[in-house]
Amino acid sequence: MVEAAAVPLACETSYQVLFKQASPIIGPGSKIMVCGGSSATGLYAIQLAKAVGAHVATTCSQRNFSLMEKLGYRVVEASDDMTVDPQQLIVIDYNNKDFGQELK
Alpha-carbon span 22 to 90, nearest angstrom:
21
What's the Cα-to-Cα distance from 8 to each of 11, 33, 44, 68, rounded to whole Å? 5, 22, 10, 21
Predicted structure pTM score: 0.70
Can you give the pLDDT of all 104 residues of the chain as single tens digits?
A: 677 777 889 999 999 999 998 888 899 999 988 988 999 999 999 999 999 999 998 888 888 989 988 888 887 776 666 565 655 555 555 566 665 665 55
Rg over alpha carbons for the chain, rounded to the nearest Å, is 16
Give the residue extent of every domain in the chain.
3-103
Q: Which CATH number fits domain 3-103: 3.10.620.30, 3.30.1490.20, 3.10.530.10, 3.40.50.720?
A: 3.40.50.720
CA separation for the pair 76, 66 (Å, rounded):
13
Helix (H, G, I), strand (E, B) or coil at 55: strand
